[in-house]
Amino acid sequence: MEYSLYDFRGSSLNIQIAIIFIIIAVSFTVIAYLSILTGRYRAYKREKKLASLHPVIDNLLMEHILLNDELASDVPADQVALPIEVFRLPVFEHRWARQALIDRLIDYRNNVRGAMGEQLRNLYIQLELDKDSLKKMKSRKWDKKVQALAELSNMNMSIADVTILPLTNSSNRELRAAARHAYIKLSKNEPFKFFDVVTEPLLMWDQVELFKIISTTEHIAIPNFAQWITYSSNKSIVSFCLKLVVHYNQISAIPAVVKLLDTKDRYLRADAINCLGKLKTESVEDKLLQMYDSQPLNCQLEILKAIGRISSGRHVDFLRQEFLHATDFDVRKHAAKSIINNQWAAKGLIDELVETATAENKLILKHSMNPLIKY
């Protein structure tokens, strides 16, 4: 039975809409399947080409770099001549093959260092593969830029500030992270200069990423973070710098952190108190106590924690008052923890509290005394 255009015109509107919808859906499904198949076929072809090229690259690198006797001796890497000509194979005129060579060079550099690592970098430069990476930096596609940044930073190639700094503030999360990573790794003198140009808030995830980069990158020039604590208008940068001050135990930044106690932003103030507590800044204890009553709850909790961390033993009575008379549960909990932290000066008090406290307070004390619970 045939269904003609005439029948279509004659059918009701609902049927017509349904038929059009079915045709569109079937067409899109076919296109989707075709594009998946094409993609897989291309990937298969690429894998096949790479499978035959990788052994060639491996052999070249092994013979001329890794098993090079001159490099194994005491001769400096830059004085050993590279046999560039053997790497100038016709296949490397193709972009995909050059990319495979770059990727392999990076793989090797991730595994070997010293003179051989240096020679891998020299090879990358002498084969002008750095130009390929720089070309990708100019691409409009963010993933190409990320790839280029990874290549250049792995090969320890410098990138002009004017090119990389705007990328550290990109709206694309991946690109932003790659640019910051590259900047920290490549900038010898001022790896944190991009803090000056960050206009958007540094999200918690960004901070975690940055922290990971900073703690895993070797030989970073650590600046005085007080400069951003004092001058940055970006609150998240200030907050992150406070954490870095703690991480690097940067005592010289304490005056800048103390000034921050007067900021109107209560979250930043809490971060500053946290920082001072972790740096065990005993000189600031009295000021913290003076400001305690006028502070919002988050700052009060940080003050209690700071007194516990500093553990000077001078403010045990204050902690006792807060523990016994505060109505807020968190205040009592942090006061108890800080009393326990000051136990070298509060042994008698702790015994007394264990004897006389209410059932709930006893529970808090017991919890605070558990050494397995991180303070």
Partner 1 sequence: MSNRILLVEDDEVMPKIMERILHKEEYKIEHVTNGKEAFQRLEDTNYDYDLIITDIMMPYASGFEILSKVKTRTNGKPIPVIIVSNAGNEEMILEGFKLGADDFLKKPVIPGELLIRVKRLLMQYGAR
Please identify, using beta-carbon distances, which residue of 64 and 287 lies nearer to partner 1: 64
> Which helix or strand (DSSP H or E) is residue 273 part of?
helix 266-278
Which is closer to partner 1, CB of 24 or CB of 62? 62
Q: How far is the CB of 277 from partner 1 (least distance, A)?
A: 24
Question: Which CB atom, from 51 or from 359, has the smaller least distance to partner 1?
Answer: 51
Dist CA 196 CA 59 (whole Å): 46
46 near partner 1, judged by CB under 8 A: no
CA distances to 61, 62, 74, 111, 310 from 68, in Å: 9, 8, 12, 17, 57
Q: Which part of the chain contacts partner 1 (CB under 8 A), choosing from 114-122, 183-191, 273-281, 330-338? A: 114-122
Q: Return the number of the residue (77 or 345) whose C-beta is nearest partner 1.
A: 77
Which of 49, 56, 58, 357 is the binder for partner 1 (CB under 8 A)?
Answer: 58
Binders of partner 1 among 62-81, rule CB under 8 A?
Answer: 62, 66-67, 72
Rule CB under 8 A: say whether 291 interacts with partner 1.
no
- Nearest approach in angstroms of CB 72 to partner 1 is 5
Query: Rounded to whole angstroms, how far apart are CA atoms 243 and 241?
Result: 5
Buried b (16+ CB within 10 A) or exposed e, 355-367: eebeeebeebbee
Longest dimension (CA), the chain: 100
Count the site residues for partner 1 by CB under 8 A: 16
Quick check: 210 and 225 in contact, CB under 8 A?
no
- Taking CB under 8 A as the rule, does residue 110 contact partner 1? yes
Contact residue for partner 1 among 39, 83, 114, 296 (CB under 8 A): 114
Single residue of 50, 112, 186, 345 touching partner 1 by CB under 8 A: 112
DSSP SS3 for 54: helix
Instruction: List the structure tokens of 302.
Output: 């940080």
Q: Give me the least distance between CB of 27 and partner 1, in Å please.
A: 42
Tell me how far CA of residue 224 lies from CA of 9, 86, 197, in angstroms: 78, 48, 17
Q: Does 116 bind partner 1 (CB under 8 A)?
A: yes
Q: How near is the Cβ of 113 to partner 1 at its closest, in Å?
A: 4
From residue 218, give the alpha-carbon distance in Å to each of 113, 184, 222, 331: 14, 10, 11, 41
Distance in Å, CB of 109 to partner 1, minimum: 7
Is 270 in contact with 297 (CB distance < 8 Å)?
no
From the CB of 64, what's the least distance to partner 1, in Å?
12
* 107 lies in the binding site for partner 1 (CB under 8 A): yes
Q: Which spans of this chain sit near partner 1 (rule: CB under 8 A)?
A: 58, 62, 66-67, 72, 104, 107-114, 116-117
